Chains A and B, each alone.
Chain A
Amino acid sequence: MSSQTVVVVGSSVGGVRAAQALRREGFAGRIVLVGEESAEPYDKPPLSKQYLAGEWALDRLALLTPEATAAADLELRLGVAAVRLDVAASQVVLADGTTLDYDHVVIATGATARPSPWHAGSGVHVIRTLADVDGLRADLAAGGPVVVVGGGVIGAEAAATIRTLGHEVVMVDPLATPLARLVGPEVGRPLEELHRRRGVDTRFGVGVEGIDGSAGNLTVRLTDGAVLSAATVLVGIGAVPNDAWLADSGLLIDNGVVCDRYCRAVDSDRVWAVGDVARWQDPRYPAEVRVEHWTNAVEQGAAVAHNIVHADDLQPYSPLEYVWSDQYDWKLQIVGHAARGGRFEVVGDLSVDPAKGAVLYSDDDGLLTGVVAVNWPKPLVTGRRALNAGAADFEEFVAQMRALFAKVSAPAAP
């Protein structure tokens, strides 16, 4: 394959790690990494935390060192978006009018923050890119109260960061508790309490009806009739896949690039997708799924690289969901399924400061389905292994975790 070219479109974590994985798998041809933003490839999780707080400069977010770029022999084309995919001609068309011929193309264009449906004059922000956060920080620097719309990962992390910066913060979400799409109220309630102890005014179970005004002087109207004043508003209400540039490609696009179980577009065996933009047929589920987690982008990049290099050994991609979130001194780690109701057991205590513990989830058959760990990685990694091995007995796992907790929480021997 030394005369072949793989074009990777998208320079965030999925694209970068897919490109590096191609080399690890032994691909000897040309690898071109195309990125719309002109900044060197950067990692996104710190955007709502250390970068928003001003603790980390941009260089701490780098996904590639110059040594890593050289080691993987990557050709970077940054600051120019891909605007079209010509599947018949095997060509990626770039915004500057140039084209890249490919033998394989990896689509890793990610997702974009769902735009605010409420249109104020200015001062309403989202978090997805460096430019988004630079704009938010500029408005925050003027001071004043902040309303955060959305209690998901981005909203709750940003609320914690902005509160820690000293702003008055109100967090609003129509769901009952924070991170409600990921974890049940047994985790969400203590997390909401943590926000309240730190001084955030939380309004869960309440929606936003409208936002008026402009930066420094905004009004947020809620569905319960409350009216909030804010200097700045942050809207964190999810993300939509960046697939519009593929609209005329002939590929099946439906909430992402629709792929087979090998993460290969259903209509071309030389088009692959990775990360937030990929909707693939995970063999475990009846319909295609799209996952917006960091580790999924990395693992899917590795899976696609394997399948490109080893066409005679295609591997279906079926990862175990893993996501984490950092809020104040909570390091929250979630593996498997933790929001589907059913049975759960709490080990340790999430309602104390500092919290340390885990919530373990079971299905009706008495098998482990998921783990949420707070400030205690052990149950997470042990649970992940048990879930990967399959059919882990819930009672046994609970007993094992209680024993481990007793060990790490016991006072040190004199």
Chain B
Amino acid sequence: MKVQIDSKLCQGHGRCYDLAPDLFGEDDEGYATLTALTADGNVPEGREGDTRLAAANCPESAVLVFEEALK
């Protein structure tokens, strides 16, 4: 699974980094960022659920999740 933050869409609701603080972070103003765990765009194995949770809670659909092809 891959993940991105669309910073043009992000309005700083802070849902993603409150719900999954190791996968998402915040900049000085409060807008969302990726973290060391996700900076390369890859979701760590076993953290797909938390990533989907963050995406489902984003009011701006700014957490972009790319599901791998279903096996």
Contacts and interface: CB of A to CB of B under 8 A. Distances in A.
Contacts of B18: 381, 384-385
A380 B28 CA distance: 13
Contacts of B70: 70-71
Contacts of B26: 378, 381
Contacts, number: 67
A331 B11 contact: yes
B52 A384 contact: no
Looking at chain B's contact residues, is the secondary structure mostly helix, strand, loop, or mixed?
loop
B29 A377 contact: yes
Contacts of B61: 43
A333 B67 contact: no
A20 B57 CA distance: 11
B13 A377 contact: yes
B12 interface: yes
Contact of B30 (A299, A380, A407): A380
Nearest to A377: B12
A397 interface: no
Given A378-B30, A408-B29, A45 B59 contact: yes
Contacts of B67: 67-68, 71
Interface string B37-57: 000000000000100110011
Contacts of A43: 61
Nearest to B70: A70
A17 interface: yes
Interface in A368-391: 376-382, 384-385
Interface string A89-112: 000000000000000000000000
A24 interface: yes
B56 A298 contact: yes
A380 B14 contact: yes
Contacts of A20: 52, 56
A121 to B, nearest CB: 37
A261 B33 CA distance: 35
A308 to B, nearest CB: 16
A82 interface: no
A169 to B, nearest CB: 24
A24 B52 contact: yes
Interface residues of A, number: 31
Contacts of B53: 21, 24, 302
Contacts of A299: 57
Interface in A124-152: none
A130 B13 CA distance: 25
A378 B59 contact: no
A295 B59 contact: yes
A333 B29 CA distance: 14
Interface string B60-71: 010000010010
B28 A381 contact: no
A390 B56 CA distance: 26
A204 interface: no
A324 B11 contact: yes
A21 B52 CA distance: 9
A298 B52 CA distance: 13
Given A45-B59, A67-B67, A408-B28, 8 more contacts: A17-B56, A21-B56, A24-B52, A70-B70, A298-B57, A376-B29, A377-B12, A378-B26
Interface of B: 11-15, 17-18, 26, 28-31, 49, 52-53, 56-57, 59, 61, 67, 70
30 contacts: A17-B56, A20-B52, A21-B53, A24-B52, A45-B59, A68-B67, A298-B57, A322-B13, A324-B13, A324-B59, A326-B11, A331-B11, A331-B12, A333-B13, A376-B30, A377-B11, A377-B29, A377-B31, A378-B12, A378-B26, A378-B28, A378-B29, A380-B12, A381-B12, A381-B18, A381-B30, A384-B14, A385-B18, A407-B28, A408-B28
